[in-house]
Structure formats: C-alpha cells, structure tokens
Copies of this chain bind each other. A is one copy, B any other.
Amino acid sequence: MKKIPRKIFLPEEQIPSQWYNLRADMKNKPAPMLNPATLKPVEIGDITPVFCEELAKQELDGETRLFDVPGEIMDMYGIYRPSPLIRAYNLEKRLGTPAKIYFKYEGNNTSGSHKLNSAVAQAYYAKKQGLSGLTTETGAGQWGTALSEACAYFGLELDVYMVKVSYEQKPYRKAVMRTFGANVIASPSDTTQIGRKILAGDPDDRGSLGCAISEAVERAVTSPGGSRRYVLGSVLNQVLLHQSIVGLETEAAFKIIGEYPDIIVGCAGGGSNLGGLIAPFMRDKLNGKASPRVIAVEPASCPSLTRGKYAYDFCDTGKITPLSKMYTLGCEFKPSANHAGGLRYHGMAPILSQLYADGYMEAVAYEQTSVFEAAVTFAECETILPAPESAHAVRGAVDEALKCRESGEEKTILFGLTGTGYFDMTAYSSYLDGDMTDRVPSDEDLEKGFEKLPAV
C-alpha cells in the first residue's frame, strides 16, 4: 500500500474557486438580523452604510449555494493557499492512539492565521466599490494583521481599533500591522463618541472586543462622504462564507487520499474558523450523506455555547449594531483578566448557533492551563507552535484521540490549526513558569449579563 503522505497540498489549480454558503442547505435558517429600533429584519439599505454592498448582499443571502470567488481574490489566495492538510503522525504516536489525526494548517502566512481568507475578500470588495479605506477592531491581533496585509495589497487605508489590553501586551502585533501600513488605535480611545463615553465612565477601562467594534463602526459610518466601511473578522454570515474555502480545500484533500473525518474539532470564538472548516462536512450531515461528529471547543472563561443563552443580542458593547440571534453571554461580557487564550467574543456566529440549537454540533469548554498543556505537547511532536486559540482545538482533538485509545477505535479526527503563537509568548511563558491560572465566570455573573439582553 502506498504510504499516505504526511502533508497533502492540493495542486494550485484545485484551489476552490467558489465559496460555499452553508445557509443554503439549512432547513432552519439562522434567524435574521433585526433593526434594534423597529425589531424588524434588516434590509440591505439598513446595512450598506456599514458594510460594502457586495458584502451586505452576501450577509443577507441565505439561498445562493455557491458564490464565485473573483479573480483578484483568487490571485491573492494563490500567494498563500492552498494550505496543507497534515497527518499528525508524531502526535498519534505520542498519544498511543489508533485514531488518525489530521489537521488543516492555516498558519503559513504572515498574518499567521485563517483570518486572511476573509480579509482578502472584504478588502477586495471595498476597493471595487471605490472606497478609500476600512475600519475594524482586533483583539489578539490576528484579524487586524490579516486585514492590514489585505489592505496593503489592495491599496486601502485602514484604522484598527485594538483592544487596549492587547495593544499594551502585544507591541509586536501592533508593529506588524504598522509594517503593513495600518493605523492602530488603542480602544477605548478618544477618537469616537463611544470611546470617550466609556473613558469618561472609567479612564482605566482596558477595552473589549465589543467596545472596539463599536468604535470601528462609528468611525466608518461617520467617515467623510461615506468613504469608509466597517469590516469584521468573525461572527458574520459573510465571514463564514469566505472561510468555507478552508473546509472545501480540506474536503478535496481528503478525497485525494480517500478519507473522510469521523470527528471534526474546531476552536470557537466568534465562529469564523469552525464555520469555515466544517462547511462541506456539515452540508453532508444536513443532507443525510454523512454523519461526522462536530465539536466546537471554547474557553471555559468565555463559554458562549456551553453556558450562554440563545437569544437576540447586540454584536457590540456600545449597542449600535443590529441585533443577532446567537448564543451569547451578553454584549457587556468580558472574560476575566487572566484569560490568555483569545476567543473572547461574547457571542457565537448565528449560523453555528442555529446548528448547535438544532443538535448538529456539540460544544465543550476547557480551562486554559489544560489548553496550553496540549499546545506544548503538540509543538514538541509536530514542531508547530499553535496560537492559543488554535490550541483549544488541539486539546479537543487530543481528548478524542485518547478516547479512541481507550475504546480501540480507529477514528479519523480532523481539527483546524488556525494559526501560530509567535505573538503569544507571554502567555506561553506564564504557562511554563507555572504562573498561569484558570478562572471561569460564576453563574451569578452570567445571570447579570442575561438580564440585560434586549427584550425581543
């Protein structure tokens, strides 16, 4: 028997040239976004002041199954794609598991993560619409870095509102974005009304993703002559659409080697990676053609799926966005200060929320020390240093592989290794020094967040 290669790179001409829209195959579509003033579903005119027109169309289109990827986007995808599907032979050996572990590795580009897949698309549509620039927020910095690259490539200006705690902890992240020409602003800032209001309430506020989103949106909608739009790197339907390229490539690579995953594991913050990775496999599951288990792994300190409410909520802290129906911890939720592992968003992508509510997905939450333990084991075996976000998926996959060791089952496990941890060495040091602690929100704290959910 021919040995299966360790890495499967699709031939360049097989990089998928269409994105797949998972909503088209969902019987229960994700609930529509609502206008918070009228509580009626948003129409395209409501959101085009915020989003580019093509992206607004993609956001609201639950029917079109496939979207052509424009040639200019394919050109930039061609710079860093295809990403490899890798068999983790060494990890399997270390764990002594009969399971076959594969990971789709999205870290081989300077942005260091899968985020570039949607950044390229969003920057392209902005350029095509004749805009001068974009605004966005970033937490750990992966999305901001990716968008900076994409904007440099297409010649767009970019303001990045970076959560202040990250801005201060990660000067190198900031420097990378600056290298690609972005203007990086610590959030909350005095450049927006919302930022000034938050700072007036607490001058030492360290920021949150929700707050940074509010500022970036305000900056876009108040841009002179409407010359800018806002873009977001996760949660949105359009982002999951663009990220479907990850899953489609994985599906194609599995076809080459005659495999199909029994279990798919992905980290889940806003859902961009998980939604993209699972897209074609979930299509098969929805259509009754296959039945892979799909496991979302989230941090115990930000447990939107495992402990959140499925309800309408704002996408931002400043409550200026439309309402989305999603698993949420409340839009004012902030993970505890000791949380180092990313995935800090208060809600989960509406598409994934609906699938979870309908029983198509499982979810599990891990504390961060156990996540970093898995990350170090993985690095030792496979020589790749995972981003803390990605390490959640490593933890989940390792645990499933260990279950296979107990049961003797030769399952095929796929997980998404979304990115690298080069900019997260403070967290790794803290883990190695034994200084890392775990802390999960109390039921009481969560209840307080739920009480503030909008009455829909």
Residues of A in contact with B (beta carbons under 8 Å apart) = 5-7, 9, 12-13, 76, 78-80, 90, 108-112, 116, 149, 152-153, 171-172, 175-176, 178-181, 376, 379-385, 420, 422-423, 425-426, 428-429, 432
With A110-B420, A422-B423 as contacts: A171 and B429 at CB distance below 8 Å: yes
A384 closest partner in B (C-beta):
B110
A152 closest partner in B (C-beta):
B380
Contacts of A108 in B (CB 8 A): 108
Chain B nearest CB: distance from A82 CB in Å? Answer: 9
A432 to B426, CA, bound (A): 24
Contacts of A381 in B (CB 8 A): 153
Of A111, A383, A426, the most chain B CB neighbours within 10 A belong to: A383
A5 to B385, CA, bound (A): 29
Task: Tell whether, in the assembled complex, residue A384 and residue B109 are in contact, meaning their CB atoms are under 8 Å apart.
Answer: yes
A116 to B383, CA, bound (A): 10
A105 closest partner in B (C-beta):
B108
Chain B nearest CB: distance from A55 CB in Å? Answer: 21
Chain B nearest CB: distance from A86 CB in Å? Answer: 8
Contacts of A110 in B (CB 8 A): 379, 383-385, 420
A423 to B172, CA, bound (A): 8
Q: List 29 A-B contacts (CB under 8 A).
A: A6-B78, A6-B79, A7-B78, A79-B90, A79-B382, A79-B383, A80-B383, A90-B153, A110-B383, A110-B385, A116-B383, A149-B379, A149-B383, A152-B380, A153-B380, A153-B381, A171-B429, A172-B172, A172-B423, A172-B425, A175-B425, A175-B426, A175-B428, A175-B432, A176-B385, A178-B432, A179-B376, A179-B385, A179-B432
Determine chain A's interface SS by DSSP, over half rule. helix
Contacts of A176 in B (CB 8 A): 385, 422, 425, 428
A385 to B179, CA, bound (A): 9
Chain B nearest CB: distance from A247 CB in Å? Answer: 21
A383 to B147, CA, bound (A): 11
A376 closest partner in B (C-beta):
B179
**Copies of this chain, how many?**
2
A423 to B5, CA, bound (A): 31
The 3 A-B pairs at the shortest CB distance, nearest first, are namely A172-B425, A175-B425, A422-B422
Indicate which residue in B178, B376, B380 contacts A429 across the interface (CB closer than 8 Å): B178
With A6-B79, A422-B423 as contacts: A429 and B383 at CB distance below 8 Å: no
A180 to B379, CA, bound (A): 7
Chain B nearest CB: distance from A405 CB in Å? Answer: 21
A429 closest partner in B (C-beta):
B175
Contacts of A109 in B (CB 8 A): 383-384
Indicate which residue in B13, B172, B428 contacts A422 across the interface (CB closer than 8 Å): B172
Contacts of A428 in B (CB 8 A): 175-176, 178-179
Chain B nearest CB: distance from A110 CB in Å? Answer: 5
Contacts of A12 in B (CB 8 A): 5-7
Chain B nearest CB: distance from A407 CB in Å? Answer: 28
Contacts of A112 in B (CB 8 A): 422
A77 closest partner in B (C-beta):
B6
Chain B nearest CB: distance from A260 CB in Å? Answer: 22
Contacts of A13 in B (CB 8 A): 5
A344 to B428, CA, bound (A): 29
Contacts of A432 in B (CB 8 A): 175, 178-179
Chain B nearest CB: distance from A9 CB in Å? Answer: 5
Sample of 4 more A-B contacts, CB < 8 Å, known A110-B420, A112-B422, A176-B425: A116-B383, A149-B383, A153-B380, A172-B172
